[in-house]
Amino acid sequence: MEHYLYFAEGGGADASTEAVCYAASRFVGVEPISATTTGIYFESPIGNVDGGGGAGDLITVTHADTHETADSYHRAKLIAEAMAEAVNRTGPSVEGKMTSIIDADNGVYFGEIATIIGDTSFGIAVTLDS
Protein backbone atom coordinates (compact mmCIF):
# COMPACT_ATOMS: atom_id res chain seq x y z
CA MET A 1 0.00 0.00 0.00
CA GLU A 2 1.24 3.48 -0.88
CA HIS A 3 2.17 6.36 1.45
CA TYR A 4 1.15 9.92 0.41
CA LEU A 5 2.68 13.38 0.88
CA TYR A 6 0.53 16.53 1.14
CA PHE A 7 1.39 20.17 0.42
CA ALA A 8 -0.91 23.22 0.77
CA GLU A 9 0.02 26.80 -0.07
CA GLY A 10 -2.22 28.44 2.51
CA GLY A 11 -4.93 29.69 0.17
CA GLY A 12 -7.65 27.47 1.58
CA ALA A 13 -7.08 24.49 -0.75
CA ASP A 14 -10.12 25.50 -2.77
CA ALA A 15 -8.56 26.18 -6.18
CA SER A 16 -6.20 24.49 -8.63
CA THR A 17 -2.58 24.23 -7.40
CA GLU A 18 -3.38 25.48 -3.89
CA ALA A 19 -2.88 21.95 -2.58
CA VAL A 20 -1.42 18.72 -3.95
CA CYS A 21 -0.96 15.16 -2.76
CA TYR A 22 1.61 12.75 -4.22
CA ALA A 23 2.46 9.13 -3.67
CA ALA A 24 5.85 9.01 -1.93
CA SER A 25 7.09 6.76 -4.74
CA ARG A 26 6.70 9.71 -7.18
CA PHE A 27 9.25 11.85 -5.29
CA VAL A 28 12.22 12.74 -7.51
CA GLY A 29 14.42 15.02 -5.42
CA VAL A 30 15.27 18.38 -3.88
CA GLU A 31 17.55 21.09 -5.26
CA PRO A 32 18.40 24.70 -4.44
CA ILE A 33 17.01 26.89 -7.23
CA SER A 34 18.42 30.16 -5.87
CA ALA A 35 19.70 31.54 -2.58
CA THR A 36 16.10 31.96 -1.40
CA THR A 37 14.22 29.14 -3.14
CA THR A 38 14.37 25.35 -3.06
CA GLY A 39 12.59 22.97 -5.42
CA ILE A 40 10.90 19.72 -4.43
CA TYR A 41 10.23 17.62 -7.55
CA PHE A 42 7.72 14.86 -8.23
CA GLU A 43 7.02 12.76 -11.30
CA SER A 44 4.03 14.24 -13.06
CA PRO A 45 1.02 12.06 -13.80
CA ILE A 46 1.09 13.46 -17.38
CA GLY A 47 4.83 13.38 -18.05
CA ASN A 48 8.06 12.68 -16.25
CA VAL A 49 11.25 14.44 -15.28
CA ASP A 50 13.74 12.45 -17.33
CA GLY A 51 12.86 13.23 -20.92
CA GLY A 52 9.38 11.76 -21.18
CA GLY A 53 7.90 15.00 -22.44
CA GLY A 54 7.29 16.75 -19.16
CA ALA A 55 9.24 18.75 -16.66
CA GLY A 56 7.61 17.13 -13.65
CA ASP A 57 5.67 18.83 -10.89
CA LEU A 58 7.46 21.36 -8.70
CA ILE A 59 6.87 22.61 -5.19
CA THR A 60 8.91 25.82 -4.80
CA VAL A 61 9.73 26.68 -1.20
CA THR A 62 10.71 30.30 -0.54
CA HIS A 63 12.91 30.89 2.51
CA ALA A 64 15.67 33.04 3.98
CA ASP A 65 19.12 33.28 2.38
CA THR A 66 21.33 31.53 4.95
CA HIS A 67 23.93 29.86 2.75
CA GLU A 68 26.67 32.38 3.62
CA THR A 69 25.84 32.72 7.31
CA ALA A 70 28.50 31.41 9.71
CA ASP A 71 27.73 27.89 10.94
CA SER A 72 24.75 27.66 8.60
CA TYR A 73 23.96 26.25 5.16
CA HIS A 74 21.37 26.59 2.44
CA ARG A 75 17.83 25.82 3.57
CA ALA A 76 17.72 23.14 0.86
CA LYS A 77 19.60 20.83 3.23
CA LEU A 78 16.86 21.02 5.88
CA ILE A 79 14.15 20.55 3.27
CA ALA A 80 16.01 17.57 1.77
CA GLU A 81 16.40 15.98 5.21
CA ALA A 82 12.66 16.32 5.88
CA MET A 83 11.78 14.88 2.48
CA ALA A 84 14.17 11.93 2.92
CA GLU A 85 12.64 11.18 6.30
CA ALA A 86 9.06 11.44 5.01
CA VAL A 87 9.62 9.38 1.85
CA ASN A 88 11.42 6.62 3.74
CA ARG A 89 8.75 6.13 6.39
CA THR A 90 7.41 2.58 6.23
CA GLY A 91 5.20 0.19 8.10
CA PRO A 92 1.55 -0.13 8.97
CA SER A 93 1.46 3.25 10.71
CA VAL A 94 1.98 5.10 7.39
CA GLU A 95 0.92 2.71 4.63
CA GLY A 96 -2.21 3.99 2.94
CA LYS A 97 -1.99 7.21 4.92
CA MET A 98 -0.95 10.78 4.20
CA THR A 99 1.84 12.84 5.77
CA SER A 100 1.51 16.62 5.68
CA ILE A 101 4.87 18.03 4.60
CA ILE A 102 3.94 21.72 4.29
CA ASP A 103 0.33 22.49 5.12
CA ALA A 104 0.17 26.27 5.46
CA ASP A 105 -3.63 26.10 5.76
CA ASN A 106 -3.43 24.18 9.04
CA GLY A 107 0.04 25.17 10.29
CA VAL A 108 1.49 21.66 9.92
CA TYR A 109 5.17 21.32 8.89
CA PHE A 110 7.08 18.05 8.76
CA GLY A 111 10.49 17.47 10.36
CA GLU A 112 13.19 20.09 9.82
CA ILE A 113 10.84 22.23 7.73
CA ALA A 114 9.22 23.33 10.99
CA THR A 115 12.49 25.07 11.92
CA ILE A 116 12.37 27.46 8.93
CA ILE A 117 8.75 28.57 8.91
CA GLY A 118 9.75 31.69 10.86
CA ASP A 119 11.65 33.02 7.84
CA THR A 120 9.86 36.23 6.83
CA SER A 121 9.70 35.08 3.23
CA PHE A 122 8.62 31.48 3.93
CA GLY A 123 5.98 30.06 1.61
CA ILE A 124 5.35 27.57 -1.17
CA ALA A 125 4.08 27.63 -4.72
CA VAL A 126 2.86 24.63 -6.69
CA THR A 127 3.66 24.32 -10.41
CA LEU A 128 2.10 21.40 -12.25
CA ASP A 129 3.53 19.88 -15.41
CA SER A 130 1.39 20.78 -18.39
Eight-class DSSP state of 13: S
Rounded to an integer, the average pLDDT of 62-91 is 87
Report pLDDT for 26.
Answer: 92
The model's pTM is 0.88
SS (H, E, C) 22-66: EEHHHEEEEEEEECCEEEEEECCCCCCCCCCCCCCEEEEEECCCC
Residues 83-87, mean pLDDT to the nearest whole number: 95
Specify burial of residue 118 (Cβ count, 10 A radius: 0-12, 13-18, 19+). exposed
Per-residue pLDDT at 81: 95
**Domain limits of the chain?**
4-60+86-127
For residue 5, give the 3-state DSSP assignment.
strand
